[in-house]
Homo-oligomer: A and B are copies of this chain.
């Protein structure tokens, strides 16, 4: 059975729906236009009530949405988490009132009070769609272009899961990814990266509706955006449906049929629309994009739309009834559940694995297995190696037990150490695999991986050089904001990479990533800390983790069992002197070993110096005060922090009597060890810094 055939029951349902609405305007059944107008009314009124928001897109795309949702979209309002639902991504997220109206009208748990409360504190209807806050919202959008890249990730997840789990006697993964995108999304660079890759991968069950309304915030886009967009997407290998009247339901139906007719290529449907359609004096202008229409224009729009009720938010019962998808939703999910039951009967192990992965649960004994490994490497198998290589070794170790791991790199597979032995590259038409060559596309990679994680079934990790995390920064932020489990492998951290020079040496990046809320940034000091970082990252289900890894070798460090387990606390005492410590050194990553060596030198000179390894400041800060005080006691006032990066975040930890050895300027092109000397970050420099502080303290 082809995947296309698996969608049979949708087609039937779509046909029924179309039949039901044929010859609109009957007394018994509202016209398509009036159904679309309900979206317009809710969008207008909600923006008016909030005196803030974006009416233009919902009013412009209402007719498209009406056709898509009523005739094609397969979903169940009673169960927004049904795993085989179609995904609808609103990449032009400022048009969120379109989505809220759809969710409300079709019967999701989004009552009218929430619509009335649009953009108010603690409402389920924030100013841009937020994943986790509103049932039916698949991803957080607003930062333009990223929803489109998320959608490519969703479609990839569907294709890969289908390839892995579907069997000839049962296609349990068989759904479509639909995406709305505006001019802004298509101007953004990420649209190039994501759509080029989607075309290459031939993701045929991805359909993007381009809201070609000719307007962006500065006015008519013709003044700054004159791409031949259809030709551009054809150059990516997409099927393009040109010149669709986005206010003509029949034309939209025909375009969607064309899209569904080719499952070997993603489809771009270019819809000519009028922004703010229905607002007689403002439609078609930038004035309708991002501000309330005002009472007069709302009234005029009601008249133009022939909307009978002047009461804000009032929707006639017949329209509510026609939009109500609850019964249909239950039916469509039930059909799938029956199919799934047959599948589970025939393939019980596959089915249980499918369920486990959809729930995001880790394999049984996972933690125990990893901890055994950590202790084994600590005590027996440790070696002096670059942390990027330790990372690869760790992937080699756990990947066979974690089939949901989905790796990839932005064209640095070998350098990042992401191409472990068991990696299987995905490429059309062979979607069975666990690895993607993303190409030099850091931003799309990270946003696509957000889509992969949000879809469910995968734990994605992505990789590039730490410096180029900049290129993807807002997608990293979005992962953190959504609480998505993505693991970001950033190798070649800091000056240790050497000759590639300041463009490639990330002096500010580790600290700058630490500032993103809900992102855990790990900078492991050796093979064992790398194992712990990976373990913590995979076990962290509610947010992303970044691993900053070295290009150069790092010595394997000694630890006893409790010390090794303390790595998970983000910061711990890795070296304690014989006597009561009179000073301490805080270090991370490649600077921990020279810090320990410096403490040894100081011991030889009669100085008792503790060394604290701080692989993850974010996690350390969540430890209770007692533990933190144990590691960094107030009484030890002589403190040196050392990290091959900007010093600002460490100044607090060393306190008024301390000193930070860092790099508050850009790097240089030279061999790594020479740069450590140049920037004063060697064992001798650390020793001198502590000594100088101890002397001034006693002076």
Contacts and interface: CB of A to CB of B under 8 A. Distances in A.
A93 B143 CA distance: 30
Nearest to A142: B503
Given A143-B467, A439-B225, A218 B409 contact: yes
Given A515-B511, A517-B665, A187 B468 contact: no
A499 B120 CA distance: 7
Contacts of A130: 501-503, 669
A29 interface: no
A123 B219 CA distance: 49
Contacts of A474: 467-468, 470-471
Contact of A218 (B224, B235, B411, B652): B411
Contact of A119 (B50, B467, B669): B669
A514 interface: yes
A670 interface: yes
A24 interface: no
Contact of A197 (B224, B229, B438, B517): B224
Interface string A19-58: 0000000000000000000000000000000101100000
A224 B439 contact: yes
Interface in A624-674: 634, 646, 648-649, 651-652, 655-656, 664-666, 668-671, 674
B678 A121 contact: yes
Number of copies: 2
A93 B508 contact: no
A444 B508 contact: no
A53 B498 CA distance: 11
Interface in A166-198: 183-185, 187-193, 196-197
A223 to B, nearest CB: 6
Contact of A187 (B126, B226, B440, B674): B440
B189 A441 contact: yes
A139 to B, nearest CB: 11
Contacts of A500: 127-128, 142
A122 B678 CA distance: 11
A507 interface: yes
A512 interface: yes
A415 interface: yes
A199 interface: yes
A74 to B, nearest CB: 28
A200 interface: yes
A503 B128 contact: yes
A443 B472 CA distance: 11
Nearest to A505: B127
A193 B187 contact: yes
B187 A189 contact: no
Nearest to A217: B411
Interface of A: 50, 52-53, 93, 119-123, 126-128, 130, 140-145, 183-185, 187-193, 196-197, 199-200, 216-219, 221, 223-229, 231-232, 234-237, 409, 411-415, 425, 427, 436-441, 443-444, 467-468, 470-471, 473-474, 477-478, 480-481, 498-504, 507-508, 511-512, 514-518, 634, 646, 648-649, 651-652, 655-656, 664-666, 668-671, 674-675, 678
Given A122-B668, A130-B501, 17 more contacts: A120-B670, A126-B502, A141-B503, A187-B193, A189-B443, A200-B225, A216-B439, A216-B440, A218-B411, A218-B414, A223-B437, A232-B235, A477-B508, A481-B666, A515-B515, A517-B664, A649-B649
Contacts of A121: 668-671, 674-675, 678
A187 B507 CA distance: 26
Contacts of A470: 143, 473-474, 477
Nearest to A183: B440
Nearest to A188: B440
Contacts of A53: 499
Contacts of A652: 648, 651-652
B217 A200 contact: no
A245 B174 CA distance: 46
A231 B503 CA distance: 32
Contacts of A142: 500-501, 503-504
Contact of A184 (B440, B514, B649): B440
B187 A501 contact: no
A666 B517 contact: yes
Contacts of A671: 52, 119-121
